[in-house]
Amino acid sequence: MTKQEVSMLHERTLMHMFSKNIGRYENYVPISYLYRSKPQQYFWNIYNKTNGIMYKYIKNFGGDPSSSLNRNLHGLFFSANVSSTTGLPPAVSYYGDQRIHIPVSFMINSDRNLYFADFYCHYTKHHVTLVVTLKGTDADLFCRERLLSLNSKFNKFLFRRPHETHAMVSTKVTVEVFYTESINIFELLNDRVAFESFVPQKGNAALKTYVGLPKRKDCKICNLKTNDS
């Protein structure tokens, strides 16, 4: 996918978010944490084998199959998806039964850049993938050349004002964040800025993690080209 096509996909995303089908007005809720759900064995390995380091991994084929991120960029996926009424994450997880919650201020701040990368669906609510990079890194340069840069202080998906510890996230799409650095979760947990929780798991977490689910090919909302176009 070219940078021009990413921009076209961004425009298509905004058209969907502010269409009559999902409401005329902007809907945002405050969030203080981004969270990552994995099976308990995943966290056990981090605690016992990697000295608390949650290592980044190569991006799978989830989302748009033409995304330049696929098999090119390393990172960690976090979710900003919360209920519009309670402000809480979903009560079940499709990616594992253990979660780590990390302050949104750890990722959305003046030391990092924010990019729009993808817009897709799996027959239900549409998803938006944002990428967070550490400024000046190879990953940052990669994204600057291929993705659409966003203002982290205000955009239509996820933004944080400098004087606030929380961020505002749209509830019209499911916002996910691909963070391109490894994280020492031992430090965050010991400093009590991050915390863990447990939820029931549904589905095959390994399939979604290692293979990835490609976007729905015939959706006329999130595809630049469809089978019948």
Residue by residue, DSSP assigns 184-218 as EHHHHHHTTSSEEEE--B-S-HHIIIII-PBPPTT
Give the residue ranges of DSSP H helices in the chain.
3-17, 40-49, 104-107, 138-146, 185-190, 205-206
User: How is residue 170 written in tokens?
Assistant: 């749209």
CA 184, distance to chain mean position in Å, is 19
User: How is residue 154 written in tokens?
Assistant: 């205000």
Domain residues of the chain, as ranges?
A: 3-18+26-200
The answer to whether 101 and 188 are in contact (CB under 8 A) is no
Overall residue count recorded for the chain in this entry: 229
Q: pTM of the predicted model, to two decimals? A: 0.93
One pLDDT digit (tens) per residue for the chain, 229 residues: 999 999 999 999 999 998 866 655 568 999 999 999 999 999 999 999 999 999 999 998 888 888 989 989 999 999 999 998 898 999 999 899 999 999 999 999 999 999 999 999 987 789 999 999 999 999 999 999 999 999 999 999 999 998 999 999 999 999 999 999 999 999 999 999 999 999 999 876 665 555 567 788 889 999 987 544 4
Give the 3-state secondary structure of residue 78.
Answer: strand
